[in-house]
Structure formats: C-alpha cells, structure tokens
Amino acid sequence: MQETGDSPRFGAALPGAECEDAAALTAGRFCHNVALVTHRSDDEKFLRAAIKTGLRLQAREVSRTGKSPRGDGVATLQRIKASLRNRKKTSKSNP
Amino acid sequence: MQKQWLHAVPWDSVLAVNKALCQAQKLDPSTKARSLEEARQHWESAIHRSLSLKEVLDVCRECHEIAPFTFNNGNTFAAVGRTIIEEWTKSLPPVEGQIVQTTVSHYIAGLIGRRELLQVLKHFQDSWKPSTLREEAKPAPRPKAASPILTEVQPQA
C-alpha cells in the first residue's frame, strides 16, 4: 500500500522521528501528546492508580467519621487554648 | 504464585503517594527520619525479589508498622497494597473484588490478622486468575496408571 503525501503521518510524531511536511508537523503536535499518554511507564501508571485509590480511601474515611484525621488534633489544641484563656481571665478578675 | 509484585513500585512512588494524600488534606508531608530509612531499606530489599501474594502484603504491613509517615501512614500503604492486587481483582466479580481489596487494606493497616487474610484469599483462590490465564487454563491430564514406584508392594505368601 502506497502512502499519499497529504495524509497526516502519525508515526512521524513519535519521539526521535522526523516530520517532513506541514501536515505531519500539525498532526505531530497532537500525536506527541498521544504518545506521552500511551507510552506511560508502568511506574507512572501505578503511581496514578495508587494516588487515586488513596484519595478514595481518604474520602471514605471522612464520610464515615464525618471529620478529617486532622480534626482531632486541632480540636484538642483549641480546647487547651480556650481553657488557658479562661484561666488567665479568672486570674485577672480575682487577683 | 511467586511474582515480582513491586517491580513497578519504587520507594519514590510510595513517598509520592503519601505526599499526594497529605497535599489533599493540606497537611505537611512530614516523615520520621529513622523509620523512613528503615522502611525504605525494607521496601527496596523486596523490590527485586519474587514473592508470594502473602509475602508482598506482609512487606506492606511491616512498612506500615515501621510508620515512616506522620500523616496518612495507613492510607499510603493500604493504597499501594490495593493497587498491587488491582489487576488481579479485576478478574473477580465486582463484589468479590471489593471484599478482597478491603480485606487486603485491613490486613496492611493491622485491623485484621493473618488468619483472616488467608481465609479470604483461600476462599477466592480458585476463581482468582487473570482473564487471559483463565481462558487458557485447561485441566491437567490425569495419569492413566499409577507409577510402579508409588504402588504398594504386595507381600508374597
């Protein structure tokens, strides 16, 4: 099968390949992105999937408990600060 | 089944997962230096080894117990463990896949013990094959006659 000169040559867009004409250059830009997505390494695929899974676990945890894991610590600190403030107030009012 | 489960999971990926989870909660992804180094060594020693599924889950669980991360320590290793078995659970019906994934994350986070994990894995062990293998799998031919070595020698009268 013979290739026509006008048809976009997607293969030319792959890294390391050369583009000969304007059509190839135009298509090449599009194809470069496709190549980046499809030629993703196993490491990167795994990482994306793991982050997605982790975020889902987080969301489930928040929906179950109704608060983020940080909530406990912040609430405790706020309670301590409030009690200190109250203590100062009472000591000022009763010298 | 023995496999290099962690070949696509360098330690940097584990760090990146924790960082992403902390960023999602606007937390500083802080670590504990000594535990981090210990967990890294443990993880990297397992990367190039062929392990059984139980062994790789043990690696995740042990790293979780070392607790290298201040925040999202459990979620990080549970997410990694779940993703490791994701390809395999796809061959199961959705509900069963969910059961296996939840069991695995609970095991890694220390919420269930080894016995529970093995019970669940054993239950799904027959149906738990990748689709390609399942199609190709054929029953092994049965031996026609018992090997003379294994047959019992009749005492002569």
Summarised one tens digit per residue, pLDDT across range A44-82 is 999 999 999 999 998 888 777 776 555 556 667 778 888
Interface residues from chain A to B (CB-CB < 8 Å) = 41-43, 45-47, 49-51, 53-55, 57-58, 61, 68-70
Q: Residue A58 is nearest to which of B13, B21, B86, comparing CB atoms?
A: B21
Q: Which domains does chain B carry?
A: 11-130 (1.20.120)
Query: How distant, in Å, are the alpha carbons of A14, A29, A41, A44 from that of A10?
Result: 8, 9, 21, 24
Alpha-helix residue ranges (DSSP H) falling in A1-95? 22-38, 42-65, 70-93
Give φ, ψ of B71 to 5 degrees. -115, 150
Burial class (CB in 10 A: 0-12, 13-18, 19+), B150: exposed
Q: Residue B25 is nearest to which of A41, A50, A68, comparing CB atoms?
A: A68
Q: Tally the residues of chain B.
A: 157
Q: Residue A42 is nearest to which of B8, B21, B71, comparing CB atoms?
A: B8
Query: How distant, in Å, are the alpha carbons of A62, B109, B111 from that of B73?
Result: 16, 9, 14
Say whether A58 and B24 touch across the interface (CB within 8 A). yes
Residues A68-83 as b/e (b if ≥16 CB within 10 A, e otherwise) read ebeeeeeeeeeeeeee
CA distance A34 to A37: 5
Instruction: Collect all residues of chain B within an 8 Å Cβ-Cβ radius of residue A49.
Output: 83, 86
* Each residue's pLDDT expressed in tens, for chain B with a length of 157 residues: 788 899 889 999 999 999 999 999 888 898 999 999 999 999 999 999 999 999 999 999 999 999 999 999 999 999 999 999 998 888 888 999 999 999 999 999 999 999 999 999 988 877 766 544 444 444 444 444 443 333 344 444 4
Residue pLDDT, tens place only, A4-53: 444 444 444 444 444 444 445 555 555 445 545 555 688 899 999 999 99
CA distance A51 to B131: 25
